[in-house]
């Protein structure tokens, strides 16, 4: 329940006259209280005290005071504060009373009022060890001191309750978030294993269709069979494409399942090797390749290789129609929380309006006739980075190339320094 204002005060003092003084200072004018009582009688509900007034209860011995605090707490109407006298013969003294009182209700704010003490104040403070809820006022005191103490400490009580209430609200939110996160993770795993088994199960009927249509194609002969052969070629192309899609899905699902093996990875060496492979597969092309030296990351080497394979295969592919193709791999210079790596090309580029679609499975921004592909590469790259709790994003413009940025947060503390050569030509 949201904490309310609380103006209930308890005075524990063995001197009767003090109680009279406190009543004069803290209680509202009698007419205001009479009206409250009349309203309570008529409407049967407890009313808040008039503005500026307090509810003041009296106890003349420590034992009685503690009993009243306990009863108030049990009734759900705790005291916000108590004024406690230091010397109250024959019973407990102020220090013992306060100790016991806080055992019952640790929230209550206390003011010790005294002319003299049997203990040194250092001893009192050390013994009570709750200096944030304890004030001292020396007798004789001014009226304004008492009323101001009452106002401030009852307000402090309410603020403390409110802070605790808000904190417990926050804790509830965190708990709910954790439950939601666990449920999401669970449904994600379920979806992943679903796509894995769908892709896996699709393999075998596809192989059957492919195999038999191939046999049919070979066994057909003669003029009339030409048309059949043409249809079969189309069927087999469709089957091939579907096979690539299922293989892509399978690869994606498998990658999510594999255990991560975190180690120091030389991204520069990996990138150079991947680019050499691109060149070997496509020896006719001339691409100016620049890979910055000393790019180090902590991550799973096999997954980071897949990431670079996909990003660099794209850079290679989408720069195929550029007259002087260039691919650059490096790290952004500047003060970032972690290293930001990038793969840049000066190829076909893409429309930034669709940048949020790039990393979805089977999302392609170019026609298959212009640039072949399945649309699984960037989804794979995204999964690799997600598994490293990093970020991946892209910038580009149609006809002006594209840059893919990524972070791998577990980066080694030994980042490449400014003294290293910023960019070097690795191969062409």
Ligand X SMILES: Nc1ncnc2c1ncn2[C@@H]1O[C@H](COP(=O)(O)OP(=O)(O)OP(=O)(O)O)[C@@H](O)[C@H]1O
Where do contacts with ligand X occur on this chain (CB under 6 A)? 310, 314-315, 318, 345, 347-350, 358, 363-366, 373-379, 396, 402
Say which entry of ligand X, Mg ion, none residue 309 contacts (CB below 5 to 8 A, set by partner kind). Answer: none
Spatial separation of the C-alpha atoms in residues 181 and 391, rounded to whole Å: 19
In the complex, the smallest distance separating the C-beta of residue 408 from Mg ion, rounded to whole angstroms, is 20
Q: Output Rg (C-alpha) for the chain, integer angstroms.
A: 39
Cβ–Cβ under 8 Å, residues 332 and 416: no
In the complex, the smallest distance separating the C-beta of residue 391 from ligand X, rounded to whole angstroms, is 17
Cα dihedral 116→120→121→125 (10° resolution): -130
Instruction: Report how many helices (DSSP H) and strands (DSSP E) the chain contains, helices first.
Output: 10, 13
CB closer to ligand X, 245 vs 340: 245
| Pairing status of strand 402-407 against strand 392-396 | antiparallel
Say which entry of ligand X, Mg ion, none residue 384 contacts (CB below 5 to 8 A, set by partner kind). Answer: none
Say which entry of ligand X, Mg ion, none residue 364 contacts (CB below 5 to 8 A, set by partner kind). Answer: ligand X
Alpha helices per DSSP H over 3-142? 16-26, 30-43, 62-74, 94-104, 121-128
130 Cβ contact list (under 8 Å, min separation 6): 102, 106
In the complex, the smallest distance separating the C-beta of residue 250 from ligand X, rounded to whole angstroms, is 13
β-sheet with 8-12: strand ranges across: 55-59, 8-12, 81-85, 109-114, 134-138
Spatial separation of the C-alpha atoms in residues 13 and 139, rounded to whole Å: 12
Total residues binding Mg ion (CB under 5 A): 2
Say which entry of Mg ion, ligand X, none residue 374 contacts (CB below 5 to 8 A, set by partner kind). Answer: ligand X
Among 97, 213, 296, 314, binds Mg ion (CB under 5 A): 314
In the complex, the smallest distance separating the C-beta of residue 229 from ligand X, rounded to whole angstroms, is 29
In the complex, the smallest distance separating the C-beta of residue 399 from ligand X, rounded to whole angstroms, is 10
Say which entry of Mg ion, ligand X, none residue 375 contacts (CB below 5 to 8 A, set by partner kind). Answer: ligand X
The string over 70-88, giving b where at least 16 C-beta atoms fall within 10 Å of a residue's C-beta and e elsewhere, is bebeeeeebbbbbbbbbeb
Stretch of 110-118, 205-213, 218-226, 376-384 contacting Mg ion, by CB under 5 A: 376-384
206 Cβ contact list (under 8 Å, min separation 6): 239, 242, 243, 246
In the complex, the smallest distance separating the C-beta of residue 310 from ligand X, rounded to whole angstroms, is 6
In the complex, the smallest distance separating the C-beta of residue 348 from ligand X, rounded to whole angstroms, is 5
Cα dihedral 350→351→354→359 (10° resolution): 20
If binding is defined by CB under 5 A, does position 377 make contact with Mg ion?
yes
Say which entry of Mg ion, ligand X, none residue 78 contacts (CB below 5 to 8 A, set by partner kind). Answer: none
CB closer to ligand X, 11 vs 311: 311
Q: Which of 74, 66, 73 has its CA nearest to residue 95?
A: 66
Which tokens belong to 50? Answer: 């008039």
In the complex, the smallest distance separating the C-beta of residue 342 from Mg ion, rounded to whole angstroms, is 17
CB closer to Mg ion, 377 vs 416: 377
CB closer to ligand X, 112 vs 358: 358
Say which entry of Mg ion, ligand X, none residue 426 contacts (CB below 5 to 8 A, set by partner kind). Answer: none
CB closer to ligand X, 153 vs 255: 255
Stretch of 11-19, 266-274, 284-292, 373-381 contacting Mg ion, by CB under 5 A: 373-381
* Interface positions with Mg ion (CB under 5 A): 314, 377
């Amino acid at each position: 329940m949201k904490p309310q204002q609380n103006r209930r005060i308890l005075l524990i003092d063995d001197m009767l006259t003090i109680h009279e003084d406190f009543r004069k200072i803290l209680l509202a004018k009698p007419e205001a209280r009479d009206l409250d009582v009349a309203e309570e009688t008529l409407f049967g509900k407890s009313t808040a005290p008039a503005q500026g007034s307090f509810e003041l209860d009296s106890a003349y011995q420590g034992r009685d005071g503690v009993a009243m605090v306990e009863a108030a707490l049990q009734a759900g109407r705790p005291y916000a504060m108590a004024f406690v006298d230091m010397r109250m013969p024959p019973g407990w003294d102020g220090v013992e009373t306060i100790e016991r009182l806080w055992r019952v209700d640790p929230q209550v704010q206390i003011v010790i009022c005294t002319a003299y003490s049997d203990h040194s104040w250092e001893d009192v403070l050390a013994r009570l060890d709750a200096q944030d809820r304890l004030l001292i006022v020396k007798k004789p005191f001014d009226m304004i001191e008492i009323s101001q103490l009452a106002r401030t400490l009852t307000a402090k009580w309410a603020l403390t309750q409110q802070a605790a209430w808000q904190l417990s609200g926050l804790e509830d939110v965190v708990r709910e978030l954790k439950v939601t996160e666990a449920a999401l993770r669970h449904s994600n795993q379920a979806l992943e294993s679903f796509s894995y088994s769908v892709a896996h199960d699709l393999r075998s009927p596809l192989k059957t269709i492919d195999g038999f249509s191939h046999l049919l194609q070979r066994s057909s002969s003669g003029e009339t069979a030409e048309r059949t052969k043409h249809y079969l070629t189309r069927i087999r192309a469709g089957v091939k494409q579907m096979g690539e899609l299922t293989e892509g899905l399978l690869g994606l699902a498998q990658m999510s399942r594999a255990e991560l093996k975190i180690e120091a990875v030389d991204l520069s060496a990996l990138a150079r090797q991947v680019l050499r492979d691109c060149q070997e597969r496509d020896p006719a092309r001339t691409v100016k390749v620049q890979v910055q030296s000393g790019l180090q990351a902590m991550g799973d080497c096999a997954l980071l290789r897949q990431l670079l394979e996909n990003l660099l295969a794209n850079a290679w592919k989408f720069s195929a129609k550029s007259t002087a193709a260039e691919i650059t791999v490096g790290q952004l210079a500047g003060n970032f929380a972690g290293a930001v790596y990038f793969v840049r090309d000066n190829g076909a580029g893409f429309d930034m309006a669709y940048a949020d679609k790039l990393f979805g499975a089977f999302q392609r921004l170019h026609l298959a006739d212009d640039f072949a592909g399945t649309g699984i590469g960037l989804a794979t790259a995204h999964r690799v980075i997600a598994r490293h709790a990093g970020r991946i994003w892209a910038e580009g413009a149609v006809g002006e190339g594209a840059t893919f940025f990524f972070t791998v947060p577990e980066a080694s503390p030994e980042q490449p320094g400014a003294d290293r050569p910023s960019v070097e030509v690795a191969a062409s």
